Structure 1
């Protein structure tokens, strides 16, 4: 197995208080993996550690043949300021930042790629709409279009299906499956066990510490999920470490 990512004794936290402790796991290149666990398990914290937004307190993240520049990251919608005066096309075009820079302009070929990305997620005709006027599902489609343009080998998704309708979820799952078919590595923080079982072959079950990692049907057992809940409930630390903010 070739690893896209390796977590080596990885501890991450805030104000030197750990939210993820001594994680040791390998994420195979080209795998489609769900990061699953109760509230306060450290799931979103782990993605921040992979992106470099959060420095390890201990251990490290190894990238194998990848580099941090190979990452496309979708944060939770609640982390995005939708009052900022951006149009849909401006938001999606940010996926070409590595080509055009922060003050560049879209050439004819680049605009065609933006239009193709919008079409692939069903947003043709909404290019000029301000992002603040979009529904939750439309906003998520626009963010996926931006990811498509980044053309990254490693895709990180933090709660990609929160507050969207069933049709949008099905369409975005099609995009994720296409990434997997192309050999990209996808890591997604999810909270619905049935979605994980139906669509994600691998699962990393986290409860601040690693509970289990491997094929989903072997990881998401009743016993493992009960153990994960017990481990998180036993945490008596501050809310920003053990509560929802450390999801």
Structure 2
């Protein structure tokens, strides 16, 4: 019951509807532009680039699902109806996960339709890897929403802090070796193509713990201690 309510909350707003429509339009536009103008028209390249709008914008749906409780002042009502706060958190993450999978599938469907008539070779591993990337970025956004509670600062921190870390990791001597282990943006890049190595999976796991599991854990601790009266 809680999961269904949270899933409906994730899409039943004008902001969510606008985001979903924007994602669909951008996926079609990116695919069409690459097929029409780009030199690299390989299947993996087209599909990976078409999933970029999904990866960039879908996390906002998870973030807004969490922060909406405070921006819309429904937190007290929600946690009165469901006193076990962890149940609400789990339901929100499950709803964000399902939404990520559905949006990703829709993005693939749009791309595949536009690729009809072209020469392309399907790669199941790339599809699964891009689906994982989109799910991780959605969990990333949801975790930051749970950590910060308010939409504007959560969105700013979600986009700015990882970008800042990537920049620092590339220009500061000595950090280039540890950066792939701590930079989720860098560690997920290999998943856009086939042949991901064991070390790259390990880097993805480590960076995900830092940028997803840690903010979520701190957010849950903060929520359990908060006075919502």
Structure 2 length normalisation: TM-score?
0.29
Q: Which has the higher contact order (CA 8 A, sep 6+)?
A: 1
Query: What TM-score do the two structures reach when normalised by structure 1?
Result: 0.27
